[in-house]
Amino acid sequence: MKSIFKPISRRNFLKAGLKGGAIAATLPVWRLFSFAEPPADFYVNPAVNLSRETLEMLLKAALGHGGEFAEVYVEYTVTNRISLEEDKIYGAGRGVDMGVGIRVLHGEKTGYAYSDDFSLDKLKQTADVAGLIAAAKDIRQPVGLKPSSIPSYYMVKVSPDTIIPEDKAKLLWKANSVGRAYDKRINQVNVGFVDINKKITIANSEGIWAEDFQTITRLAVSIDAIEGEKRSSGYYYKDGTLGYEHYDPKLAEELAREAGRMAIAMLPAEDAPAGEYPIVMAKGHCGTFFHEAIGHSLESDGIRKKTSCFWDKKGEMIASEITSLADDGTVKGARGSVNVDDEGTPGQNTILIENGKCVNFLYDRLNAKLMKANLTGNGRRQSYQHYPIPRMTNTYLLAGKDDPEEILKSVKKGMYIARIGGGNVSWVTGRFVFDVSEGYMIENGKITKPLKGIQLMGSGPEVLKNIVMVGPDLEIKGGGTCGKDGQAKPVSDGNPTLKVSKITIGGARV
């Protein structure tokens, strides 16, 4: 099962999003023959700076049993966290992950081994173990490494790792005081700031040699409200491949207000009715739906293995004519953006569905090779402990032409989905389920009472045909951590206002 993590008591913290979200319309500025460098004062254990000679030696060792392709992935990641709850800074934390993963491909076979020990002997042994997957007489030699040119899709001026935790704490305090003052029914305010600072090096036997420095930041506010027997929660966040210059107390205030607004709005919510209804999805906050319900089924591993419900649908109409879907790793500053993916392929914008027709899939290197397709920059992995698999980056439904007001007016009785929470999908049947964190009844074209416990249930192939109206107001806001095959990866998503003519709603009453 693939799912957007639904963290349990800290649910709202893991869901993360990106505010604003104009999509970069211009071509990226290519910085030829230079690596994305970590900031000068970011400490990297010098052991991870493997020399060209060492990388080439490891690639050679990895091919020593006759493998067709070898790759070395080196990672050094620092994660900083600070959180506030119950009017106190709960704690500050820091983590360091460092290691080398070595992969050898041979036909459809993958050999993988990793090590967190950087001694030359240990690395050589790791390369040898990964190479064992192949047992061929013909030994290939790796091509000499050439530094790759790296595009730049991150928006980082100030590295968050260089900011002392006391400064980050000021953001948390601001959000806390604004959140608590928002309404007297507010009971708890939790605020957290996390930054991930990751230096990766990818070198492969075809001569690719790429380095990237990735920064992902997130400020999240979660608020609980209580009134008599009634309870509710609200949350909001900003995140992305963004430097610390994007965070200030004013932003913290905005996030806290929005989280407070949602908690108070949902306090009087009534049980949702079950059954089939039309729904309207709010712009920006429901993109997870497309990531989950459709995106996973368009990842090339399931296509190649013929286990995805869309495996034989390329070139066919799989959606209504107004439906176009993209996976775009080049959105400036978005959480899922990649200068290069975890195989050294530059991030790309890939149209998956064009006016209803299935036109492409998402590829990593292995599946692209086996399926004779072009790379799309979607070979991603959680860490050096994992081999890459096809994964989404920033996935969104493209803008349409319908007036958002008309979309709402067209629904006599249905639901307005203001924010989608977590969800999951079976890629075999395409069946999905989502919980809705903020939802309302629509009666005669107007948003009326708030509803709790709404679940959206359906299947990707079915729902795609029921997308009947799409607005022009695309926003890429929602983002989070996607789980697949035991690997967690940051992604984001987006959508314009849209209408689905019919979907199964789960609720507590008939």
Q: Segment contacting another protein (CB under 8 A): 55-63, 192-200, 231-239, 372-380?
A: 231-239
Answer yes or no whether residue 86 interacts with another protein by CB under 8 A.
Answer: yes
Residue 272 as a binder of another protein (CB under 8 A): the answer is yes
Piece in contact with another protein (CB under 8 A), picked from 26-34, 191-199, 230-238, 252-260? 230-238
**How many CB atoms neighbour CB 468 within 10 A?**
17
- How far apart CA 337 and CA 135 sit, in angstroms, is 38
Residue 61 buriedness (CB in 10 A; 0-12 / 13-18 / 19+): buried
* Piece of the chain touching another protein by CB under 8 A; list 126-134, 136-144, 370-378, 439-447: 126-134
Q: Of 194, 177, 185, which is closest to residue 252 (Cα–Cα)?
A: 177
Give the residue, chosen from 30, 37, 94, 401, that forms a contact with another protein under the rule CB under 8 A.
94
- Is 406 one of the binding residues for another protein (CB under 8 A)? no
**Which of 143, 170, 181, 307 touches another protein by CB under 8 A?**
307
Is 114 among the residues that bind another protein (CB under 8 A)? yes
How far is it, in rounded angstroms, from Cα 163 to Cα 170?
Answer: 12
Among 23, 36, 113, 498, indicate the residue that binds another protein (CB under 8 A): 113
By CB under 8 A, is residue 426 in contact with another protein? yes
Pairing of strands 498-506, 69-85: unpaired
175 binds another protein (CB under 8 A): no
CA-CA distance, 93 to 80, in Å (whole number)?
6
433 interacts with another protein by CB under 8 A:
yes
> Hey, which residues between 2 and 61 contact another protein (CB under 8 A)?
6, 8-9, 43, 45, 47
Distance from C-alpha of 282 to C-alpha of 260, rounded to nearest angstrom: 19
Among 91, 170, 245, 316, indicate the residue that binds another protein (CB under 8 A): 91
Minimal distance in Å, beta carbon 395 to another protein? Answer: 20
Looking at 159, 217, 232, 348, which residue binds another protein (CB under 8 A)? 232
H or E, element range at 266 = helix 249-266
Q: Is 482 in the site for another protein (CB under 8 A)?
A: no
**In 3D, which of 396, 405, 395, 400 has the Cα closest to residue 472?**
400
Whole-number Å distance between alpha carbons of 472 and 448 = 24
Strand-pairing partners, residue 445, are none
Segment interacting with another protein, rule: CB under 8 A, options 151-159, 197-205, 421-429, 475-483: 421-429
Nearer Cβ to another protein (344/439): 439
CB of 366 to another protein, least distance (A): 10
CB 316 → another protein: shortest distance, Å?
A: 13
Residue 63 interacting with another protein (CB under 8 A): no
349 vs 426, which CB is nearer to another protein? 426
**Tokens matching residue 340:** 């290069």
CB within 8 Å of 301: residues ≥ 6 apart? 364, 367, 389, 390
Q: 426, 452, 457: which is closest to 437 by C-alpha?
A: 452
Rounded-to-integer distance, Cα 376 and Cα 395, Å? 13
